[in-house]
Amino acid sequence: MKIIQVTAIDMTMNNFLNPLNKVSKERGHEVHCVCSKGPYEEEIKNNGYYFHNVSIDREINLKKNIKSVLMMVKLFKLLKPDIVHVHTPVAAVLGRIAAKIAKVPTIIYSAHGFYFHEGMPAKKYKMFFYIEKYIGRYFTDYIFTQSEEDFEVARKNKFLKNKNNYVHISNGIDLDNKFNIDNFSESDAESLRKKYKISTNDTVVSFIGRLVKEKGILDLLESYNYLESENVKFLIIGSLPQGERDTETLKLLEKFKANKNMIFTGQVSNVNEHLYLSDIFCLPSYREGMPRSIIEAMSMGNAVIATNIRGSREEVIHDETGFLCNINSSKEIAKYIDELVKDQSKMAMFKENGLERARKLYDENKVIEKQINVFEKCQNKGTIN
């Protein structure tokens, strides 16, 4: 088969889709990657995939969006793929429209989290809901969802014409190697402790993600002002990727960088080692699909503090593997950090329960196999309309 994967930026293509693309290639399928050109282009090519630079804006911009669609239509007609598989909100809409115009046999959409979400103004929610439903019914053959909530919403509201073409794939990580805590020891953390000046007496609270407001990064950093506990270090992993427009948050972050107990690492390749160093992982997002970072953190022995939103509440069991808090609540984050610092037995229980949950539910091999099975079903039987 010839499979085209579509994302907005090459970081998403490289960091999140490489495991799926790797298995597709191993099965003998030809994999083409369509996204905006960026720092990961060469890595994608070196992994043996075809790379096609199509500029895809991450915001709604009619002129740019139409240009992206036209570029993809031309490319799809030239390549004649069996499957176009789209990801990320804007790229997923534009890619499906282009694939339909180009008469691609099978169009698959992975919903990493529908753009409409609780807390969104009613009019805005309704607009994005009906965009998803319309593009689903008329431009999509299969919908893969990571969260169960999205799966139920799509099926209940008939986002597809065929009721059998919804697949809940969940989310997963490499539990065999990269995120296997049994492969690590305290000596692996020593160099990072020295680098960041973290002592064994410190409690490390980590964050992984884009440094934008909707990830709740400012809420986490501001929680430091409400902490009662001492010897708490914040380990902030991430940056502002290409195409992001929230430069205002980056400016606001500057005032926190003077705090010696807040460590900003930027992008790192060894996120597993950083999480092994960490005790508590905090993701206070306003919107998520099915966050991989929480799963990674649990697999590396972290208690978790996350907001009570779609995806996060599916992964975190309140008062069992971590705590769920309200959106935009620095004081609540601080309260839960203090509770875990003061009650080490509870912290240890959360870590153990989270590790067990990650191993039981979030194996990327199973997630990949569900997708490959649909790919090959389409190859053998043709798209089910």
Domains of the chain plus CATH, in order, are 2-172+364-381 (3.40.50.2000), 181-361 (3.40.50.2000)
Q: Is 229 left (phi over 0), alpha (psi -120 to 50) or beta?
A: beta
Through-space distance between the first and last CA atoms of the chain, rounded to whole angstroms = 19
Question: What are the Cα distances from residue 19, in Å, to 13, 173, 322, 361?
Answer: 10, 9, 28, 17
User: How far apart are alpha carbons 188 and 383 in whole angstroms?
Assistant: 48
pLDDT band at 50 (very low <50, low <70, confident <90, very high): very high
Whether residue 139 contacts residue 97, with contact meaning beta carbons closer than 8 Å, is answered with yes
Q: What is the pLDDT of residues 58-82, one digit of tens each?
A: 888 899 999 999 999 999 999 999 9
Q: What is the pLDDT of residue 243?
A: 61
Which band of pLDDT confidence, cut at 50, 70 and 90, is reported for residue 240? confident
Q: What pLDDT digit, counting tens, does each position of 84-113 carry?
A: 999 999 999 999 999 999 999 999 999 999
User: Is the pLDDT assigned to residue 175 strictly greater than 60?
Assistant: yes
**pLDDT of amino acid 250:** 82
Q: For residue 383, what are its two tokens?
A: 């798209």
The confidence score (pLDDT) of residue 321 equals 98
Query: What is the dihedral sign for C-alpha 95, 101, 103, 105?
Result: positive
Where residue 243 falls (left for φ over 0; alpha for ψ -120 to 50; beta otherwise) is left
pLDDT tens digits, one per residue of 278-320? 999 999 999 998 999 999 999 999 999 999 999 999 999 999 9
pTM: 0.88
Q: Quick one: three-class SS letters along the chain?
A: CEEEEEEEEHHHHHHHHHHHHHHHHHCCCEEEEEEECCCCHHHHHHCCCEEEECCCCCCCCHHHHHHHHHHHHHHHHHHCCCEEEECCHHHHHHHHHHHHHCCCCEEEEEECCCCCCCCCCHHHHHHHHHHHHHHHHHHCCEEEECCHHHHHHHHHCCCCCCCCCEEECCCCECCCCCCCHHHCCHHHHHHHHHHHCCCCCCEEEEEECCCCHHHCHHHHHHHHHHCCCCCEEEEEECCCCCCCCCHHHHHHHHHHCCCCCEEEEECCCCHHHHHHHCCEEEECCCCCCCCHHHHHHHHCCCEEEEECCCCHHHHCCECCCEEEECCCCHHHHHHHHHHHHHCHHHHHHHHHHHHHHHHHHCEHHHHHHHHHHHHHHHHHHCCCC
| 381 — pLDDT class (breaks 50, 70, 90) | low
- Separation of alpha carbons 58 and 9, rounded Å: 8
Q: Is the pLDDT of residue 52 over 70?
A: yes
The angle subtended at Cα 244 by Cα 168 and Cα 135, nearest 5°, is 40
If we measure between CA atoms, which residue out of 215, 234, 214, 216 comes closest to residue 224? 234
* pLDDT of amino acid 379: 81
Tokens of 148: 């169960």
Q: How confident is the model at residue 187 (pLDDT cuts 50, 70, 90)?
A: confident
